[in-house]
Amino acid sequence: MKNPVVTIENVSFKYDGQEQYALKDVSFQIYDDEWLAIVGHNGSGKSTLAKLLNGLQFPEEGRIQIGGIDLTEETVWDIRKLIGMVFQNPDNQFVGTTVQDDVAFGLENNGIPREDMVERVQSSLKSVKMEQFLDQEPHHLSGGQKQRVAIAGVIALRPKIIVLDEATSMLDPRGREEVLDTIRQLKNDHQMTVISITHDLEEAAKADRIIVMNGGELYREGTPEEIFQMDEELVKLGLDIPFPVKMSKMLKAKGIPLNKHYLSEEELVTQLWTSHSNK
Amino acid sequence: MMEKMIFGRYIPAESPLHRMDPRSKILLVFLFVCVVFIANNAITYGLLAVYTFLMVLSSKVPIRFILGGLRIVLWLVLFTLVLHLFFTKEGDVLFQWGSISIYEGGLKQGIFISVRFFLLILMTSLLTLTTTPIEITDGIEVLLDPLKKIKFPVHELALMMSISLRFIPTLMEETDKIMKAQTARGVEFSGGPIKDRVKAIIPLLIPLFIGSFKRAEELATAMEARGYRGGEGRTKYRQLRWGFVDTVMLLILAFVTAALVLFRS
Ligand SMILES: Nc1ncnc2c1ncn2[C@@H]1O[C@H](COP(=O)(O)OP(=O)(O)OP(=O)(O)O)[C@@H](O)[C@H]1O
Ligand SMILES: [Mg+2]
């Protein structure tokens, strides 16, 4: 049986002075070592959910449990050690004046002894392949490099869970791939749970599970296959369908036999040429 | 203009001054500022000038670069000199031309005060030229540490300084971007009467301010998410190391001070 690391029970939340609830009665679990993608239209409550997980906001109703600990004002600092967050804008989360200072920032906050810090700064920068940039200043780095430094800052704290709130949306395709590859690698090496909030459905297609948010409510959860079965329904929710899925649907409509919707381009291509050569 | 200013510019080099601990460097400059006022005659001012000159030499920052950068200050120094020449009426008259007379006291005072002024500027710029801004911040944080006892927000002040330093280049880039965007919409930033140019600043400042508030909010969230909760219980990654050079430099200044006290009249 899968082990839940995060349990969210009937959580509702409203920002101060706001009429509308940003989250309405949301319940779900996140399991150990999984890659969970959260998708949904703008303003559907994804970032709010991420902020609640980290105790940056507290739910008005309901309960959040992380790593077996109830999230309250008292436990929030311990929970923040378990959850690392990477935000969207690479510039607005870079605190240090140089790469190594920035990675050290979280360690300093947690009172890690200096010798330990030096070691952790080195090793976490190495794991995101930024170790040659120790003394570089942020304005001399590309967006993707800054995001990798942000990831190093999170990894240095050895969290169990890493939350990416559209962490790759301001990057070009290459920067995006670099950052995601880094995360995949780290997830394998350190057995972390990854929660990725994204508008990129091709990225979501590679997740273990997808949660679809709509207007502050949890609309649907399921494996990528299950979610992309929804087709037109997704479009109505303000989401797009990944290209390979669209393509396999159209091919099917043309009478080309395919046994399922393919989620990645490679899969689809392989299926097409093998089925052709099998004839 | 901006490129020629040397205040706040850091010039990387391998020199004893660069190697000094920022704490001792700040202390040194602070003491120097006090010590300068001991001098009151030609010998003592000469001594100070020699000391400062040697410090400049040991910094390995090109002298021509420093003097070039201090051109505006040099004019100010000259201005003080002239002011004293004309307005201090002490001692014998040295020179008379019509109603203008220059006194011995005026000449002496003028020269002394200009030299003092010049040496002070030189030493303080030497501090910023040989120390990175973040090192200065670290040094100030440690030196002001005793003030924490009277609840002075030392850590917050240092953090503010380092975040400002971190964001200066980012904001410059943004200013540049907005300027280009507004130029494309027909705003003219250079040329035209002053009134128009001041007006053109407004469409530059407003997006810049709004952008900065958004940045500040996001940065605060990111800092909190990374466990920041004030200076309490924090360890420091940057380490300051008091070395042999630091002690030597302070000893030299102590000798100079002793000599000044000895030779002042
Ligand atoms: N700081 C805030 N104060 C007040 N209301 C807010 C605040 N942040 C978000 N909201 C509101 O809460 C709702 C959910 O916003 P949230 O940022 O969680 O959406 P999101 O799914 O992350 O959207 P996006 O895809 O644009 O990032 C929106 O209606 C938004 O207007
Ligand atoms: Mg969001």
Indicate whether A237 belongs to any domain: no
Indicate whether A236 belongs to any domain: no
Q: Are residues B10 and B121 in the same domain?
A: yes
Q: Are residues A145 and A181 in the same domain?
A: yes
The beta strands (E) that lie in chain B are given as 93-97, 100-103
Indicate whether B87 belongs to any domain: yes
pLDDT score for A278:
64
**In angstroms, rounded to a whole number, what is the distance separating the alpha carbons of residues A230 and B164?**
49
pLDDT score for B3:
46
What type of residue sits at position A223?
A: T
pLDDT score for A56:
93
Q: Are residues B59 and B174 in the same domain?
A: no
Q: Are residues B40 and B109 in the same domain?
A: yes
Write out residues in chain A with pLDDT < 50, as ranges. none
- Which ligand 1 atom minimizes the distance to the CA of A197? 22
**In angstroms, rounded to a whole number, what is the distance separating the alpha carbons of residues B179 and A5?**
49
How far is CA A126 from each of CA A7, A144, A153, rounded to the nearest angstrom?
Answer: 33, 15, 12
Give how many domains chain A has, as a whole number: 2
Indicate whether B140 belongs to any domain: no
Write out residues in chain B with pLDDT < 50, as ranges. 1-3
pLDDT score for B253:
96
Query: Contact B130/B25 with Cβ under 8 angstroms?
Result: yes
Q: Are residues A277 and A218 in the same domain?
A: no
**In angstroms, rounded to a whole number, what is the distance separating the alpha carbons of residues B239 and A120?**
16
Contacts of B255 (CB under 8 A, 6+ apart): none
Query: Contact A239/A232 with Cβ under 8 angstroms?
Result: no
Indicate whether B229 belongs to any domain: yes
Supply φ then ψ for residue B223, to 5 degrees. Answer: -65, -40
pLDDT score for B219:
94
Helix (H/G/I), strand (E/B), else coil: A120: helix
Q: Are residues B230 and B105 in the same domain?
A: no
Shortest-distance Cα residue to atom 3 of ligand 1 = A15
Indicate whether B145 belongs to any domain: no
The verdict on the CB of residue A43 being under 6 Å from ligand 1 is: yes
Place of tokens 């002024």: B117
Q: Are residues A252 and A225 in the same domain?
A: no
The pairing of strands A209-214 and A217-222 is: antiparallel
- CATH no. for residue A16? 3.40.50.300
Is A166 part of the annotated catalytic residue set?
Answer: yes
Q: Are residues B160 and B257 in the same domain?
A: no
Q: Are residues B96 and B166 in the same domain?
A: no
Give how many domains chain B has, as a whole number: 2
Indicate whether B150 belongs to any domain: no
Q: Are residues B59 and B167 in the same domain?
A: no
Q: What is the pLDDT of residues B57-100, one digit of tens each?
A: 999 988 888 888 888 888 889 998 888 888 877 777 777 777 77
Residue numbers in B near A117 (CB within 8 A): 235, 237
pLDDT score for A261:
67
Q: Which of A85, A100, A109 sits opposite B234 (nearest CB)?
A: A109
| Distance between start and end Cα atoms, chain B | 43
Q: Are residues A168 and A55 in the same domain?
A: yes
Q: What tokens were used for B239?
A: 């380490």
CB contact under 8 A, B221 and A104: no
Supply φ then ψ for residue A266, to 5 degrees. Answer: -60, -45
pLDDT score for B2:
43
Range of the domain at A28: 4-230
Helix (H/G/I), strand (E/B), else coil: B100: strand
